[in-house]
Structures are given as C-alpha cells and as structure tokens.
Amino acid sequence: MKKKIFSGVQPTGNLHLGNYLGAIKNFVALQEGNDCVYCVVDLHAITIKQDPKLLKSNTLETIATFLASGLDAKKNIIFNQSSVSAHSEFAWILNCVSRIGWMNRMTQFKEKAGNNKENASVGLYVYPTLMAADILLYDSTHVPVGDDQKQHLELTRDIAQKFNNDFNCDGFITVPEPLIQKEFSRIMSLKDGTKKMSKSDPSSQSIISLNDDKENIVSKIKKAKTDSLPLPSTKVELKDRPEAGNLLGIYSNLSENKIEKTLTEFKGKNFSYLKDQLSALIIEKICPIGEEIKKLLNDKNYLISVLNKGTERADLISSIKLKKIHEKMGFLS
C-alpha cells in the first residue's frame, strides 16, 4: 500500500553524513511508489538564535542538498515550513493538547538547553509540538528519521492519540509509524564513537560534511579515532568498540551491505586498511552530491521555484486538514 511520508531537516548549514545516511538517503528510496512531503524546517531552526542572512542561504542549501541527493521536485512536495502557516497554527493547538510532563521528559531539550535552561527559548521547549504538527497535518503514515528523533516520534504518537480521545474522533488524526533503520541508525562523531555526529560539534574534524572535497575526506578519515586492536569478526565484539562499530557501520550503509558481510571483509585487518577503503567509498558516493549542491546553488531562481511549487501544494493539503481540525475544536472559522 502507498505510504504517506513526511520528514523534515533543519536548515542550520553543513549537512553531514549523519543527516544523509540517517535520513536523506531514505527519503530518496521512499519517493518511489509513495506520497512524500519533505520540509525544510526553518521554524524549528529559530528555536536557537539564527543570523537571518545565513538562515536564508542555509534554507536554499538544504533544498539543493535534497535535490542533489536524488529527490525529484516533481514527484515530492518540497517546501519550507514558515511558508505554510498551518504548521504554526496547528502547533499552538497541539501545545494545548500536550502535557507539560511529556515535554519535561524530552532529552533533546535537556541536551540543547544545557546547564542554562532558564535562558533557553520557549520555542526550544515546545519544539516537539511543532514537529507533531508538521507530521499530523498531512495524515502521514510513516516518518523516516535518524535514531535521535525516536523520542519525538513517540511523543507525536501520544499527542495524536490524545487529540482523538479529547475530541472524540477516533482515527481523525493518523497515528504515524517511525521509519528508523535497524542497524547503525545513529552515525557517530569521528572523534568520539560514543557521541552523535552533529552540526553543532565544535570540531569540524568530527563530521564529514556533504560539501567536503576529496582531500578533506581523506584527511578526516585518516585522523578518525580508532582503538589498538585488529578489526573484529563478529557483531558482539563491536559492542565495546564504538569507533570500529561506527566506521564499519558507515561502510556497510554506504556499500548497501549487511554488517555481517562488512565484518567478513575486514576481519583481522588493521584500521588503516579500513580507512583507505572507507575514504574511497565516501568519495565515490558523497563527492558527486557535494558537486551537484554547488551547481544547484548557482541557480537560486530554480531553487526558489521548487520551493514555491512545493509551498502551493503543501498549503492546499494542510489548509483543508486545518479547517477540519477547527471544526473539531469548535472554532467558528
């Protein structure tokens, strides 16, 4: 059966291998035979202070990354969140459905707000209700994300169920399923295999950016953290070897092979052999995307036309759903 897919990516610049392997590569696979909506979530980005000029260029770069990775602008609805007002309107309604206790359990808020919670934006706190609004407005059945978004998706399901209960409308809001890869769904930092690869990491050496050139890729992989043992032959041995697990996981994911096959290929070999093979594979798969992003960024008008078309289509679907939501709420609009 056709799935209704929704996912979003923040335009915070420097999209990396984690975003690609955890999310965007799956968006591309899902576009065949499903109805897909892919959103650049600029309203989520401003939960942390943004430079308006940079936000604009990062939004275009994110669209360029979607297209360069293989998303078809005709097949999919591609747009930016702030241009479709139903998202913020429904998010407010969901703020009133959600419970404070639920928000207090969100680990991403705790991580992002750090020690100074009093100084975090209110938007950062209610970030997950906006994410729920994004997904639920389109009756989405499936949401492809990396493992770090799992808790937000569980919350989205709780919010959907509570809305249906509160307004006595079973099935009106579709309860979506997360689509998270079973293995290596969290790509880790090249400098610390226990930390997520993240745009906000202060060390650029810890991430492979989709814009990195060949020399950069070779140098970052060469300097990636390792341990002192030869590469293992079983999955069990990877449990206590996060860096080996991460590099082998990236290799498996990019080569589309099961981890067992990758382990057989590299067992007993040293890290420098794996690093040579991995650099070559990243260059083969990622550099063409980086080059295409650069090309697309030279044609801003085209990128804007993709956004405008996507906005029109997203606006149509979401405004119809929002009208029905208003009826359920008892709004005279």
Residues known to be catalytic: 112, 196, 199
DSSP-derived letter for residue 38 is: E
Query: Which residue stretch of 3-11, 109-117, 166-174, 317-325 sits at the interface with ligand TYM (rule: CB under 6 A)?
Result: 3-11
Judged by CB under 6 A, the chain residues 44 through 63 that form the site for ligand TYM are: 44
Establish if 7 lies at the interface with ligand TYM (CB under 6 A).
Answer: yes
Distance in angstroms (rounded) separating the CA atoms of residues 129 and 89: 11
Nearest to 14 by CA among 300, 208, 291: 208
- Shortest distance (Å) from residue 34 CB to ligand TYM: 15
Establish if 314 lies at the interface with ligand TYM (CB under 6 A).
Answer: no
Q: Give Cβ neighbours of residue 277 (< 8 Å, ≥ 6 apart).
A: 251, 266
DSSP string, 260-322: HHHHHHHTT--HHHHHHHHHHHHHHHHHHHHHHHHHHHT-HHHHHHHHHHHHHHHHHHHHHHH
Query: Which residue stretch of 53-61, 112-120, 141-149, 260-268 sits at the interface with ligand TYM (rule: CB under 6 A)?
Result: 141-149
Interface pick for ligand TYM out of 4, 25, 186, 225 (rule CB under 6 A): 186
Establish if 138 lies at the interface with ligand TYM (CB under 6 A).
Answer: no
Interface pick for ligand TYM out of 64, 126, 197, 274 (rule CB under 6 A): 197
Residue indicated by tokens 């909506």? 37
Kindly write out the interface string for residues 116-135 of this chain, putting x where it contacts ligand TYM by CB under 6 A and - elsewhere: ---------------x--xx
Judged by CB under 6 A, the chain residues 148 through 177 that form the site for ligand TYM are: 148-149, 152
C-alpha separations of 196 from 134, 199, 229 in Å: 24, 10, 23
Residue 262 parent element (H or E): helix 259-266
Establish if 243 lies at the interface with ligand TYM (CB under 6 A).
Answer: no
Distance in angstroms (rounded) separating the CA atoms of residues 72 and 69: 9
Give residues in contact with ligand TYM (CB under 6 A). Answer: 6-10, 18-19, 22-23, 41, 44, 131, 134-135, 143, 145-146, 148-149, 152, 186-187, 196-197
